[in-house]
Structure 1
Amino acid sequence: MIITLLIPGIMPVTVAAAEDIPSEDDGNITILLPDLVIEDLFWNPVNPETGEQVTITATVKNQGDATSGATNLVFYSNGSQIGESSVPEIEAGNSEQISFLWISETESTVEISAKVDEKDSVEESSEDNNVKTAGSITFKKNRFPDLIIDTLEHPENPRPGKHQNVWISVKNQGTAASEKTTLTLYINGSAVNYWNVPRLSREESSYASYTWIPITEGSVEIKAVVDEGYLVDESNEENNEKTSTVTVAKEFIPDLIIEDIVPESAEGEVGKTLNLTLKVKNQGTSPSEEVRAKYYINGIAPTQDDIQIPALSEGEGADVIFSLVPDREGQMEVRAIIDSGTDVYESNEDNNQFTKIIDVKTILPDLIVESLSLNPEAPRIGDDITFTISIKNNGLRDSASSELKYYINGNNVTQTGKVSIPEIAIGETTKGTFHWVPEAEGNVNVRMVADDGNAIREDDETNNERTETVSISKQTIPNSEGSSGSSSSGSGSDSSSGSSSKSSSMGSGVSKEPAKNVEIKELDTRNIMSGYHVKYDFPKNVTCITYIEFDPQKTFKKTTATVEVLKGKSIFVKKQPPGRIYRQLNIWLGNKGAGLPASLKNSYTGFKVEKEWIKNNSVDESNITLLWYDSKWQPLSTKKTGEDKNYVYFRAKTPGYSSFAISEYTGEEGTVEGDEDGIQETLRSWNGDGKTILNSSAEREGDTGKKPMGMAKILLAISLPLFMILAEYFVLKKKI
């Protein structure tokens, strides 16, 4: 539709009207209106103080489609109007910030809100969105007065009967003025005067003075208190008084005392440096000079220097650090004496000492039996079982050497023994071994007790024991004779084949001592080369033999030395050794003659004897001798080499190795008549082709076994003539 407007004096205007604009007649007319909202409402400062001016700001936005007319904005506190501001015209989409200044005189928390167009003077598209609530303001009174006794002055050296002036100043160090209050002066707890204190502005002071006449000598307490009745509301109610102590005396001299000795920790430790604080004070009436203090530990003066004490004014104290090393456990007495040389003239020379008792704890080792292992793991009747024990030191100090005792019980068997345990460092573990050969099947209990004799003081004496159950089964592998004995027990005959396992567990096949007579044994292996010195050390240290050494005359290469400590007389000897016997034992050196006198020279054996046995049997150490058996008991040249806490150590020149005894020997006879060959001949026979073996009663076998070459000679003498006759017969037959 085209509309032409004709206005006089003005050029005609032609307007094209859109056909979709509704007319008043069609009922779809659209009216454009403003819409005022409070977009934001905030204040500054955020945490105002009571009586402080607050600026409350509202951001008013016109989110409508038309410009709004001027209107008003009302601010509320807890729903009550606190102020009103005008709002100008705001174009559609624009905003205006309207602020209002307000002061609250009371401490409170109030809710702040605002409403735009509160009088409904602007027609809006929505009349329900004109209010905004911003949250709460907490007004708190942060400014308070704070009254203190700023100064309390008096003469330094008042004398009895003389007028003394006391000066007092009260100051308001708070942030607000104080109201009127009172000031009180006390001497030795009694109020002697009161003053009125006027209203004080910030940092303002008030002054008062008092004339005092002391009557007697001694220490006097002077105290001033302001606002004792809490008339003024202050920021700090705990700082309204000041106290001073003065000494009234005719003569003024120092007096040094030790108030306390304070260790750095509740308990000391033996051998570890402990720091202590010596608290010193001059309680006299004049300064003291620099002096020294001595200290004593359990009544003994240490080698350290004296403690240097600085010069102290009257009433002044000092903390002086000194160190000492506790030398024993339990309670330690530390006594200090200040000015021990009376270098300073004091009013009291009898109060210069102080004694402190300090507990010194003991740091101890703690031995436990950590584990037990077996080899073989599934033992059978007749097996030579090696028990390996793991012992750990769980304590906080290294342990000394000790002994572990073991008990084997079950199947009508009871056996006990000891294992020597060396020193064990903190947290470290060591191992020990012992052997046992079971003779019956079933379960046995192996109980192990570390430090059985309580030779070592431990942190916990209740955790030294451990018990394990070991199951023994029947032997199912037949030996070379078809019996069911153990293949590793060392009993039975020694055939030339199929006996390697038997030999390895019995010291390379030499020993035929019945296992039931062996209390404990230890093995060590070395290469024996002619011309090179050899020493076996037996590192597990479980027997009384500590080492053997010699110069080999022949080469045997890898050779095992076996020490067997016996329960009784060896089967290889026919008579008990002479003297008071400490131990009977066998020492075997391989199975090829390495231990024979012809195979070695410069041979020595080291051994040890328990001091407890020597003491209990009243043994003369000079008579302790190593005896060697070879057709008779022979005393060997034995010398003492040393001793420790538990043992005396010896060294003996040794011709060869077989059966021995350690005895207190005084020349008794030990020869067995009729045993001319001796054990060395038996050892030689073990190395022959026939491998002759002693039986359980140690008797030699028949002559056939003993002299196999003699039998061969007889057979040769018989067979040779027969062979010659047969040979001649065949020759003659061929000629015919």
Structure 2
Amino acid sequence: MRTGFLNALICILLIGLIIPGMIPGIAFAVEDIDKGSEENGNSTVDLVIESISFDPENPGPEQKKVDIITSVKNQGNGTSESTNLAYFINGYRTGESRVPEIEAGQREQISFSWEPESEEGTVEVTVKIDERELVPETNEDNNERAQSLTFAGLPDLIIDTFRYPKEAKTGELKNIEIIVKNQGTSESEGTKLKLQIDGVEVNEWDVSSLAAGENSELISEPWTPASDGPVEIKAVVDSEMSVSESNESNNQKTGTVTVTGSEELLPDLTIESFKYPENSEPGKHENIEIRVKNQGTSASEVATKLELYIGGVKVNEWDIPSLPAGESSEPFSGEWIPASEGSVEIKAVVDGGNLVNESHENNNQKADTVTVTVSEELLPDLVVEDILSEQGDPQAGKLSNLTVKIKNQGAAPAAEAAAKWYINGEAVNENLQVPALSEGANAEVLLPLTPEKAGKTEVKVLVDSGASVTESNESNNQLTKVIDVKGLLPDLRIESLFLNPETPKPGENITFTVTVKNDGAGDASSNELEYNINGINETYSGRILIPALSPGNTTSGTFSWAPGNEGQIEIKATIDAGGVVSENNESNNELTKTLTVSKETISGGSGGGGRPRSSGSSGGGGTASKEPASNVDVKELSTRHVINSYHVKFDFIENVTCVTYIEFDPKKTFRRTTTIVEVLKNKSVFVPELPLGRIYKHMNIWVGDEGAGLPGSFKNGVIEFRVGKAWIKENNVNQSLIALQWYDKSWRSLYTEKVREDRNYVYFKAETPGFSCFAITEYIVDEKSSQETEGEGKLQETLKNWNGRKAGNLNGSVEESGLIKNPMGKAKILMAISLPLFMIFVEYFILKKKI
């Protein structure tokens, strides 16, 4: 009995030790599993495309660029990772855009520039989010959306109606009717309609603008055939192609009219042949031979005259007897003795007095007049054709190159010659050189002219001034031209634009002071300064009078405006907006400035009489670089207000560095913040090693001195930079491998894409999580990792000092203090104690049975 009681007591004690040890471990394990399942189950992502829009909405067929604007929403309850948008035009993949991380319930607008080829009609634009399915989503079937885009069409003008007689008789009045139609899809501009009969234009009409599908009014033309035979009639609309059409090959219609002889048969006298000498000499006897033909349908029963004109003067005439239909006369000969050198016009006319009633009265003389050149021998003849100023009127005191046009109008080549020139009658010591010229050839010689004063200046050029070329005419070698010389010109420039106050609030009146300077050498007349203000859903513009300014002087003007809304506003000032002042430089008349309007107090004061800082804000302040000055090649500063939730952009307008702008979305509010871009001579002292790849530039970007550039202070950071085409060409660099690298314990290659290019540079845009030390490189991938070194420690210390508090590392993470709970660790300890006790308990019962 005592033994049984003792056994029962031992069993109870062992169970009491084992069960309490196992239950907490099991409970902790179940709790940890449930917690992990709950966390994973509640965080979801679902990306959808809410809308697709286009800019412009209805592009023309020749549109060079269409912006596809896509609104993407994350309708899950977790933050999505960055992914891509793919674009398809009529099923063909056109390109892609990068989509940043999107928080739950938030939207992002992504813009993609598409350069269409010549389009007309409607195309289908399809946009797919997360094309490669890199982001796990609760619904993968709603990632695509399609939208139709309609291109405006072109007009298409045709001859819709063309009525004419198929048959006609000579002398019979007929009517030709024409209607023009626009069968295109857009309105046409006004143009011309022409009617041709046997290749000769007989009439022309204005055709007004026609809407798509509209016909013109009926156009009618009376016509009386003059002779029998087939006659081609052609109507042509827009023959000059002044209207851009979808089809330029259907603008005409042609028809043939068969004309037969009328009851009245008529003769038709023409000059059948006309022989004359092509070259002659003064005093030489020359012979001219003419033959007349009657190509009509009846005899020319009335005698008439054949006349010969030389130099516009009638020199001979012959009687033309009656000629049967189809018959030619005997040749008529006349003698001509040229009296002097020169050009002579020779013309033969039959029935000039219209004595014979003919079927055609407009073919009685030789259609082409002939010019005969007479010379004693074949010689050159140099002349000055013109003196031109290709760059407009010359300016007093400024070098201008005049162009002297010289021609050899003789019948033989001319050797090289000198040309002397005179300014206001005074010879210039320097001669112009005229190259050798073949017969009929031209040459252009530059004449350097620096006028002493404004007004009229007489310029005379004498070619072959040394009489080294023997010419057929020695009296036509010079030309005098009067040139208008302009006075000294001004150059107006906006020197500065100041605002008071510099940090306005909504409703607060701002006074803008603009300073204008005349940088030119001449006086500037009074003119107007135009200002344009663009804010958030509000605009304002006006003009102020700027008085006359003498060279080197300045003047100021003011205007006022009160903003109604928060956000960034842009002010653009333009001097001489009406273009009334003629200047040396017309491209420097504008100045643009941006500022931020905010209700928040953005004050740097933290004590004394200063106003208290807004909750959650911090100061950005000015920036002082800690990079040694000896390592800085060039730098540029830009100042903006950084306000929580308001997108900010720092533009570097001086273009002295390789960075054009940076932008980001602040998560905190800072006071007036200055950003410095430093282009370095060598790598920064804050980094211990060079990045991989061929290096274009090392640079630092410091945003303020209180942490405005740290990753925890902003999101969606972007840097636009440029790389010289000369460097790319000299080093045979692949543009697609150019990347911006950022130092964060080790070098990290940032997502970089090409955005544009100009004559000298290729421009890229990179996404960055922080601002500090960078390098522009031709990137090479390397798998090895880097350890933090002394140089990195310097960079970390600099950023810590600027932030005013400890920053764990470059990406802004800060370790949290406090205990780290580990329920599974506790469970393992309890189970380690309980299992041996359980083994002892089992062994006890086995031994008991044996006993």
Instruction: Using structure 1 for the length normalisation, give the TM-score.
Output: 0.31
Instruction: Using structure 2 for the length normalisation, give the TM-score.
Output: 0.28
Q: More relative contact order in 1 or in 2 (CA 8 Å, sep 6+)? A: 2
Task: Say which one has the larger Rg.
Answer: 1
